[in-house]
């Protein structure tokens, strides 16, 4: 029966295609997955003008998001990474605007240096004060963070109102962060809040544009926590 497509033939073709797909799957040991991922990132990025320690931050953001735009939109004030790494190793705390960012930060590594992560967003007194004053909970969280009596890094990955309030607190002289990570995501006041933060002397790390997120804020924190000075060729 020439020219007749039989179901078993279709099944055979599908099996062949499936076998070819399985052959293309790369077998990687669980402990090697991250290193292999970073190697793929380096291969796709190719030659880059980024140097350490900024390169480690860029790579970690791409690793978290699979978005290579972070090789173009991340901005660093002068010496921001070096100052933050030193602060973390001297026991600085981290304040985040979301529990998601908090959960993504390596708290064990941070604790080894004597630091801890704070997120005040679920505090009932924060919610009550925000309602009474007609502001967002995130902005109140920044005020709470400014009251911590030790060096603090602020990691903002969601709320532009948090970044705006933090800018105001810096301008008022009420807080001097060891680093501001400004990567809120979205549309309303996101770009504007980042531009405001970049007007400060720093130190800050900002993702220009609308991209960012709590996962990116956590990724930047972890890149700084994990950083070990590399000898550049």
Residue 155 near residue 181, CB atoms below 8 Å: yes
Tokens 């400060």 identify what position? 200
Distance CA 62, CA 174 (A): 34
Q: Of 189, 214, 179, 211, which is closest to residue 74 (Cα–Cα)? A: 211
- Would residue 63 show up in a list of annotated catalytic residues for this protein? yes
CA distance 223 to 64: 11
- Three-state DSSP state, 208: coil
For 167, residues 6+ apart whose C-beta sits below 8 A from its C-beta are 193, 196, 197, 199, 200
Catalytic residue among 40, 45, 63, 151: 63
What contacts 13, CB < 8 A, 6 or more positions away? none
| Residues designated catalytic | 63
């Amino acid at each position: 029966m020439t020219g007749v497509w039989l179901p078993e033939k279709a099944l055979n073709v599908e099996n062949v295609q499936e076998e070819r797909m399985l052959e293309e799957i790369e077998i990687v040991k669980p402990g090697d997955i991250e290193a292999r991922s970073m190697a793929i990132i380096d291969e796709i990025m190719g030659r880059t003008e980024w140097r350490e320690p900024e390169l480690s931050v860029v790579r970690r953001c791409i690793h978290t998001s699979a978005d290579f735009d972070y090789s173009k939109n991340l901005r660093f004030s002068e010496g921001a990474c070096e100052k933050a790494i030193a602060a973390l190793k001297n026991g600085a705390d981290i304040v985040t605007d979301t529990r998601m960012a908090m959960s993504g930060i390596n708290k064990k590594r941070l604790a080894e240096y004597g630091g801890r992560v704070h997120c005040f967003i679920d505090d009932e007194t924060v919610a009550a004060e925000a309602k009474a004053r007609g502001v967002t909970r995130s902005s109140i969280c920044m005020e709470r963070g400014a009251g911590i009596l030790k060096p603090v890094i602020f990691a903002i990955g969601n709320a532009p109102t948090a970044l705006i309030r933090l800018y105001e607190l810096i301008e008022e002289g009420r807080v001097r962060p060891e680093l501001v990570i400004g990567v809120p995501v979205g549309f309303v006041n996101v770009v504007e809040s980042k531009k405001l933060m970049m007007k400060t002397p720093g130190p800050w790390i900002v993702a220009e544009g609308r991209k960012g997120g709590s996962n990116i804020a956590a990724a930047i924190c972890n890149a700084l926590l994990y950083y070990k000075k590399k000898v550049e060729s």
